[in-house]
Amino acid sequence: MSLDLRHVRRVVEAALDEDAPYGDVTGRAFVPADARASASLVAREPGVLAGIEVFVVAMTTLDPDVVVEPRLVDGEWFEPGAVLATVDGPARAVLQAERVALNLVQRMSAVATLTARYVAAVEETGARVVDTRKTTPGLRLLERHAVRCGGGHNHRSSLSDAVMAKDNHLAVLQRSGLDLTEALRDGAARLSHTTHVEVEVDRLDQVEPVLASGVVDTIMLDNFSLDDLRRGVELVAGRAIVEASGGITLDTIGDVARTGVDVISVGALTHGYGSLDLGLDVEVGEAAGA
């Protein structure tokens, strides 16, 4: 579940610059330059931790004298009152970084916690819960890391990562005069042999023409009823990975998983979350030499 720290630093630096483009006027006016602060990152509600490395980067970027000691690692469950990390360093730097650091770790932990609930709902079915590209622009790598922390899995990382031919793609292809099977073969002929190909269908009568192309690795059954999902799994009969998608909630995902699908993609993991209630309890100490 490692993160690309180069990307983390870019995100953090942009966020810090957005939050204090010309410095922290409050800190400069009211906090002595040599004051120090000790703080604890404390959970106000239960959840799954995600983004502790991001929190560390956010708290230490402004001043290398700030020291952060994580108490938990990403993917661990915590209860209210748990201390997730401690912080010590120059008070101005700690107070200036506080909001950005909290924003990121709160949102990532919310994604992880929500994902864990979805994963628990399909336990023992064999279905894999995955995210989608419905992510916050600029934060995809962080949100997808959080999905993994919650026990979920990632779909294709980007449009450059794998093929997903959706209804609009197929409509454009078929305008060439080819039928669905031929259109898929024609498109796949322009791909590397290592490229994974997924095709979305929204009707059962599309399943066989898609599979007849011989180029499809995954077939997505989009917005199917439970009965049609079961029938779709039977039609595919192991010839491709079967993915279910479309409007899936915590209340419905268990039933969807029991239809026999292999993968369930849930956009809500990265666009339906809030912020987990985590706080930074700060104590400002005496100025050095006082």
Give catalytic residue positions. Answer: 99, 134, 166, 200, 222
Phi, psi of 87, deg, nearest 5: -130, 140
Contact (Cβ atoms closer than 8 angstroms) between residue 112 and residue 49? yes
| Residue matched to tokens 């997808």 | 144
Closest by CA position to 205, among listed 178, 232, 186, 229: 232
Q: CA–CA separation, 76 vs 46, rounded Å?
A: 11
Contact (Cβ atoms closer than 8 angstroms) between residue 213 and residue 189? no
How many angstroms separate the first and last alpha carbons of the chain?
Answer: 44
Closest by CA position to 82, among listed 275, 281, 273, 274: 281
273 burial type by CB count under 10 A (0-12 exposed, 13-18 middle, 19+ buried): buried
106 burial type by CB count under 10 A (0-12 exposed, 13-18 middle, 19+ buried): buried
Q: Which residues of 82-104 are buried (b: 16+ CB within 10 A; e: fewer)?
A: bebbbbbbbbbbbbbbbebbbeb
| Residue matched to tokens 């993917």 | 75
Q: CA–CA separation, 220 vs 203, rounded Å?
A: 11
